[in-house]
Amino acid sequence: MGRPLLYDVIEKPATSCIITICSLIWFLIQKKSIGYSQVGLSYETAVQGHYWRIITSAFSHISVLHLVFNMSALWSLGVVEQLGGLGLGTGYYLHYSLVLVLVSGGLVIGMYHLLIGGFKVEYFRRVTAVGYSCVVFGWMTILSVKQPSSKLDLFGVLSLPISFAPFESLIFTSIIVPQASFLGHLSGILVGYAVSWGLIGGMNDYWAVTMLGWVVVVFVFSLKKSGAYDFSFLEIESVSDASLPSLRFVGNGRTLQASAVSFSGVEVV
């Protein structure tokens, strides 16, 4: 008799929560008949200020097969939460999951910008990416460096040596799933190496909460400014310096002026 699933859920709380969130979002997308273009990330929407799509695109899946594949891999990679003795653990998993979502999303847009501006490949202007694979490939890479003896189990039947899994999976998905985002998966691998080699480090509870706070601010601000959602309690209005937006909370007359820093086809990831 196998080990009860509840024990694994308890030992992988963050992984279990993320899988639950992605599954609920997939259910909502199906129920509301939401298209990938409404939640996905593309170069065109990014330059239009739809920064909220970096978050929504990561947690959205359009097909059930896409969801099952990503969540199956993520469940196996949740072993990171059980490796506290190696300096990993649940806190590390949460901190760098946030980093992987944000940095890999930004890196994808950067790659699109280079291909469009430098090489005139206009195809990437409208490519829309959705899915949690950037993070999945990032954790594959981190685990391949931190714990190369681990295995990646898919669907409970396929087991891959974790040391080769990132590039094996990159090639495999590119061959059998033509619409799979090669650049999206590659960005997850690159950010994963940056994390595991210490090029992106120093994350702790303070920085994670601070980063999350800014994510919420930018998420709400960009939703409002792009017209994707109308927050009735919030208004964006011009101030003395027309180049800087300000936020006004309706009802109390308080105005917050932003600093000089500006929030400057489909592929599945």
Q: Which residues are catalytic?
A: 133, 185
> Who contacts 3 (Cβ-Cβ below 8 Å, separation ≥6)?
none
> Who contacts 227 (Cβ-Cβ below 8 Å, separation ≥6)?
none
Secondary structure element (H or E) that encloses residue 234, with its range: strand 234-238
Half-sphere exposure of residue 29: CA atoms within 13 angstroms, side-chain side: 23
Specify which residues 255 forms β-bridges with.
248
Are 18 and 9 within 8 A, CB to CB?
no
Local structure of 146: helix, strand or coil? helix
